[in-house]
Amino acid sequence: MKYLVTGAAGFIGFYVSKVLTSQGHDVVGIDNINDYYDVNLKYSRLTELEPVTKFRFVKVDLADRTGIANLFETEKFDRVIHLAAQAGVRYSLDNPFAYADSNLIGHLTILEGCRNNNVKHLVYASSSSVYGLNTKMPFNCDDAVDHPISLYAATKKSNELMSHSYSHLYGIPTSGLRFFTVYGPWGRPDMALFKFTKKIFDGDQIDIYNNGELARDFTYIDDIVEGVVRVADCVPEANSKWNAELGSPKNSSAPYQIFNIGNGQPVALLDFVDALEKSIGIKANRNMMPMQPGDVYKTWADTDDLFKAVNYQPKVDIKHGVQQFVDWYRAFYKV
């Protein structure tokens, strides 16, 4: 099968491209290689993909409507895994327009490509941040998600809404995946695990928000990727029996579905820091800070729907996952 993977130089897109090609699929990966974080890491991921004959990289911006339209028309993709986005909750307070350009316009460009070229399945990244002010735990895709607390979260919820309208209007099967704090080797420098690791090695203080009273459903990269490729094979169908009064928000009369992909076990931030200190073998210099605007207190994924649909439950525990990351970090940055 021929796949388009957007955000292929990014953390998750890099792994998804590797796994799809190893399964025998042809993958065209696209990315604009923006400088939100160190571009050398993005280029290094692409270098890893270079020997893979079934992978081809095209540098293009999602905002380039003609470029993306031409790509869809020439390549005739069977499926699209759309992971390119402006990620990060905190940065959306500083640079909101980057989110409108990449996540709203960019998502529309991909939807239009799918609409005009008979793509058989669009799988796209949503986020646990859509749960916003929700407090009922664990977070379930049956819950209403109408109260985002960052613009990033609002764009991800918008992606789900935009996708539903295209599934309804044009019959495009779409699957939205709410990822829960993804971590692992080749991970993002703007995320806590990477930042803390760097600071501990450099002997700098680490900032611990809300005095450590936070918990995250950390999900190891291999678990995320396994979920993504399994969902790609699980194409949603229109369900004529669904109706808006009785039906769930996670599916529809249109060929549309939403899943959580999380580990299903929230870890307290301080336990996470303990695990990191043990893996590195150095005690962190902890700087306790107040809560940050835009952040949520706790995330916890209900993953029953994912298990029922694709017979897979994320399973890597935090100690093992953090150790894998630290081993990679040491080797990559030679520390």
Ligand X SMILES: NC(=O)c1ccc[n+]([C@@H]2O[C@H](COP(=O)([O-])OP(=O)(O)OC[C@H]3O[C@@H](n4cnc5c(N)ncnc54)[C@H](O)[C@@H]3O)[C@@H](O)[C@H]2O)c1
Q: Which of 40, 57, 56, 155 is nearest to 101 (CA)?
A: 155
**Smallest distance, ligand X to C-beta of residue 207, A:** 18
Torsion, CA 234, CA 239, CA 245, CA 248, rounded to 10: -10
Per CB under 6 A, which of residues 79..118 are in contact with ligand X? 83-87, 102, 106
Among 21, 127, 251, 263, binds ligand X (CB under 6 A): 127
Question: What is the sign, positive or negative, of the torsion defined by CA atoms of 264, 269, 270, 273?
Answer: positive
Q: Is 294 in the site for ligand X (CB under 6 A)?
A: no
Scanning 25-33, 137-145, 301-309, 327-335 for contacts with ligand X by CB under 6 A, the matching segment is 25-33
Interaction between residue 44 and ligand X (CB under 6 A):
no
Query: Where do the H-state alpha helices sit in 239-335?
Result: 269-280, 304-310, 318-333
Which range of residues in 3-11, 21-29, 197-205, 239-247 is near ligand X by CB under 6 A? 3-11
Minimal distance in Å, beta carbon 114 to ligand X? Answer: 16
Catalytic: 333?
Answer: no
Residue type, 200: I
Catalytic one of 15, 91, 131, 152: 152
- The whole-angstrom separation of Cα 213 and Cα 216 is 10
Between 60 and 79, how does the x/- string for binding to ligand X read (CB under 6 A)?
Answer: -xxx----------------
Identity of the amino acid at 276: L
Instruction: For residue 225, report the phi and psi dihedrals to the nearest 5 degrees.
Output: -65, -40
- Burial letters 198-209, b for 16+ CB under 10 A, else e: ebbeeeeebebb
- Comparing CB distances to ligand X, the nearer of 68 and 206 is 68
Any idea which residues carry the catalytic annotation? Answer: 152
Which residue ranges make up the site for ligand X (CB under 6 A)?
Answer: 7, 9-13, 31-34, 42, 61-63, 83-87, 102, 106, 125, 127, 179, 181-182, 188
